[in-house]
A and B are shown apart, each in its own frame.
Chain A
């Protein structure tokens, strides 16, 4: 088992003091050094070519940035090596980004799968170019966004329409990725149609070799699933595990909203730094070890208010809690 770091640590929707600096290459150049100094030699990058600010900045999230800021993918990897990062382990693509773009441009729902397929293929190429051996796919947008895009249908109809199509698409992407030696794994957020144990439906209908499961501990727990149980159940079909944490309890059915990660009612802080929340991370680690998992575990503290402190806390937690568990 190897531990990497998810770049999700940095909120891509920067907010607060020095927000513009976080969009510059210099911020990221330094961050790579700090990730390495915190003992992480592998990272996961999101792929999002749509976001206006990210597409013209130094944030390493799409092919354009690799070319404009580093001179190309090979040069980017060589640069990472110099900063102390050995590899980009996986890339992450989310249906949420497609839904956001559609909402913004007014594109009609029937175009959704074509657009998602396009993004997934672009992400696959991105993963291939940066030498990643995995593509983590979040297969559904926020339920609230999807319902909105579909024009006011109920959740049952939405599910009945969406799931067969996305299942087919994920299978297709999985097969295409396998041809390039890239492993696809699905990650289910607490706000998606496949939340919690809902992912099992997709897993049961897709090729077990080409489509693996990428469990994200906090996402599963918020959705009411037991991450340890799912890790044990899907042993052998797991890749790119995400260690994450939360205190959040979704008492207001916020998962149905269009913006579930920034709740309006009740508690609003959805994620916390790894080790600070209610997830029994050591138990999940034991489950991975006992089931013979030998892949990567990406550690993250999503939406942390202090990236640098969170990085050091990750290392402390791995060395002093996980290693001793």
Chain B
């Protein structure tokens, strides 16, 4: 019983952690390049989940029944439109502030988060939206008398999609021209622009990629829980930010690792201590990590220059 229960929580934790990891990448990339906390990123994730829900309903209404095709199309539509949101947010709310005072981009980002949340609430209503389960079934891994460890097909899909998204993303950052520009901007924005990197374009594309990954996370969240509302972005955003900080902000493998850890900690806390206080656990980790380990697990120490 003990052992089976543990394995089940491990599976659930890894699934949840994959979703957090995908969102955390958006935070860590933006922080790495322009040194700001994109507070609206959690709400971009929420917008992605809503677009995915609407796209699902549209495609089903159009009479498409082949689930893999529907999933693929939803993935494309949600990523494209959510990326547009990411681009627009950067263009309208952050780019004009690049040389403003220290806290201006953060305040603007909070404003943007409020805008996105209330925009969705106004146009789609405050009620929880639900989607009938599209992918059913799964495998029973261990079946003892008292407890059966289940691995559902949705969980497999989530972990596989996350892995694919991570591989594609690592390839973009590691091997392409764009990735090289991004890494250059991360090291030194001014120097990169002197050496001919189009920094406006690179920063825009960073937001676009981050929003695209958040959209993937949004679809996964929608498939896993089956219901969304306009408020999911706030809590998920803070937890994903915690993941980014825990992994070391600015570090991409760190974000993924941090996401997994946060997902596991949250799941195990809920399973073994109290499910009421699982969010308190996540927020406390954020505070503790920021105070005692501000560079995170894989981050580089930040040197304050005058």
Do chains A and B stick together as partners? no
